[in-house]
Amino acid sequence: MKKLLLVAFLLSILVSDIFSQACIPEWTQPGSGVYPDTVINLPATEVNTPYDFTVQFKVPKTDSSVIVTGVDVDHVELTGIAGLDAIPSSVPFTYTCNPSSCSFKGDSVGCVKIQGTPTTVGLYPLTIEAKVFISSFIFQEVDFSGYYIEVKNSTGIPSVNKNKFDVSQNSPNPVYSTTSILVNLLSPATIEVKVFNVVGNKIFNTTVSGRPGINTITLDASKFSSGIYFYTVGDGNHSLTKTLVVEKR
């Protein structure tokens, strides 16, 4: 019995350690910034579905507006993400950083992983709280609002609005091999589908001839690595972006 308890305890530690593993910085964009920004925003999720998303960024070398324009940034400290604890959840929402101290030197790359399992439909705003240091002791507290996590009902059935250009959530999602996207057109058009990774690099692009009504686009994701992607579907005059999750079995 004692051996079984010991094994269970060690397994619980291992599972906890795996779940809380830090993200890997993957910034490949020119200059500094954050991806996704508040325009693209964080991907939506569904009730009772584990959420796991990584925000990528590069800290600027010089301060552009927070304290004194043109002054070198010593480091930035992430002090909190307000609003995470307000999301009803079975597994509380938390964040982890790489570096684990959540302290990022000027002109360096980093990432923050957000995890949790929501239980209630809603739109939950988040505010990123940070300190920008221009020396080891001179800093300015700053808040970045505009981010949110949308929690939707788990229906499993993609839908589109037949009265306008519209794009469904891909199904299935997560995807292991192929997935389908529904696109509604009001008139004939060339449909363009683009897929981007989390740092904004385009990894796939295709075009198909679309007809009025609902068109089904089949996307082969079997060659994509496991992770979160964004797909943009457009008809030349409109475009919509949604989130695609790839999981390898």
pLDDT of residue 3: 43
pLDDT of residue 114: 95
> What kind and span of H or E run contains 10?
helix 2-19
Average pLDDT of every residue of the chain: 85
Query: Hey, which bits of the chain come out as E strands?
Result: 33-35, 45-46, 51-58, 75-82, 89-98, 103-105, 109-118, 122-133, 139-152, 166-167, 178-185, 189-196, 202-210, 213-220, 227-234, 239-246
Q: Give residue-wise pLDDT tens across range 144-170.
A: 999 999 888 876 656 788 899 999 988
Using the predicted structure, report yes or no on whether residue 11 has a pLDDT greater than 80. Answer: no
User: What CA–CA distance (Å, rounded) separates 249 from 230?
Assistant: 21
Identify the bridge partners of residue 98 per DSSP, sorted by sequence position. 111
pLDDT of residue 65: 57
| Residue 21: pLDDT band with limits 50, 70, 90 | low
Of the candidates 197, 162, 186, which has an alpha carbon nearest to the alpha carbon of residue 235?
Answer: 186
Stretch 231-245: mean pLDDT, rounded?
94
pLDDT of residue 99: 95
Using the predicted structure, report yes or no on whether residue 171 has a pLDDT greater than 70. Answer: yes
pLDDT of residue 10: 34
DSSP 80: E
Q: Is the pTM of this model over 0.85?
A: no
Q: Give residue-wise pLDDT tens across range 127-146.
A: 999 999 998 889 999 999 99
Q: Give residue-wise pLDDT tens across range 182-217.
A: 999 999 999 999 999 988 899 999 999 999 998 989
Stretch 46-60: mean pLDDT, rounded?
88
User: What CA–CA distance (Å, rounded) separates 68 from 101?
Assistant: 25
| Residue 174: pLDDT band with limits 50, 70, 90 | confident
User: What CA–CA distance (Å, rounded) separates 194 from 90?
Assistant: 34
Q: DSSP labels for 175-206?
A: BSSEEEEEEEESS-EEEEEEEE-TTS-EEEEE
Q: What is the CATH code of the structural domain delimited by 22-152?
A: 2.60.40.10
User: What CA–CA distance (Å, rounded) separates 77 from 74?
Assistant: 10
Using the predicted structure, report yes or no on whether residue 74 has a pLDDT greater than 90. Answer: yes
> In the chain, where does the domain assigned CATH 2.60.40.1930 lie?
166-246
* Backbone phi, psi, residue 154, to 5°: -90, 100
| Architecture in CATH for domain 166-246 | Sandwich (2.60)
57 burial (CB, 10 Å; 0-12 / 13-18 / 19+) is buried
Q: What angle do CA 203, 208, 213 make, to 5 degrees?
A: 125
| Residue 66: pLDDT band with limits 50, 70, 90 | low
